[in-house]
């Protein structure tokens, strides 16, 4: 099961890759780490290339890199980019999450 980006999220990631003058091999690194009010948190970063052992997906022309451990927690997740009067941020629709905090940046699996 893969991880996907909405068109808006993919556009935002492409903008970030361009702003950082990243190489053509660059993509979005998605990690799940311990922490946050619900126990697990998402970390996103532009990474110049996939690491050995990474799962690599492509969504709307953007490469998404997942290490095997993080992949266990985000299979089937859709990442969206949302803008509102309260700010702008990536949002996660994670079918593996059993619960999440109010801000949506951490979850329980």
Q: What is the mean pLDDT of residues 8-25?
A: 96
Strand, helix or coil for residue 98 = coil
Model pTM?
Answer: 0.86
Nearest-angstrom CA–CA distance, 19 and 54: 24
Residue of 1 and 61 predicted with greater confidence = 61
pLDDT at 50 over 60: yes
Nearest-angstrom CA–CA distance, 59 and 39: 28
Label residue 21 by pLDDT band (50, 70, 90).
very high
Q: Does 3.40.50.1370 match the CATH number of domain 4-99?
A: no
The residue ranges of every structural domain in the chain are 4-99
Per-residue model confidence as pLDDT tens digits over 53-103:
999 999 999 999 999 999 988 989 999 999 989 889 898 898 877 666 555
What is the three-state SS of 38-87? Answer: CCEEEEEEEECCCCCCCEEEEECCEEEEECHHHHHHHCCCEEEEEEECCE
């Amino acid at each position: 099961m893969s991880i996907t980006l909405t068109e808006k999220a993919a556009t935002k990631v492409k903008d970030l890759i361009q702003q950082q003058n990243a190489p053509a091999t660059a993509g979005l690194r998605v990690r799940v780490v311990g922490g946050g009010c619900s126990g697990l948190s998402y970390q996103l970063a532009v990474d110049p290339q996939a690491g050995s052992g990474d799962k690599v997906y492509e969504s709307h022309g953007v490469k998404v890199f997942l290490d095997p451990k993080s992949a266990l927690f985000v299979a089937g997740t859709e990442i969206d980019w949302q803008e509102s009067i309260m700010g702008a941020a990536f949002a996660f629709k994670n079918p593996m999450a059993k619960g999440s905090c109010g801000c949506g940046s951490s979850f329980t699996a």
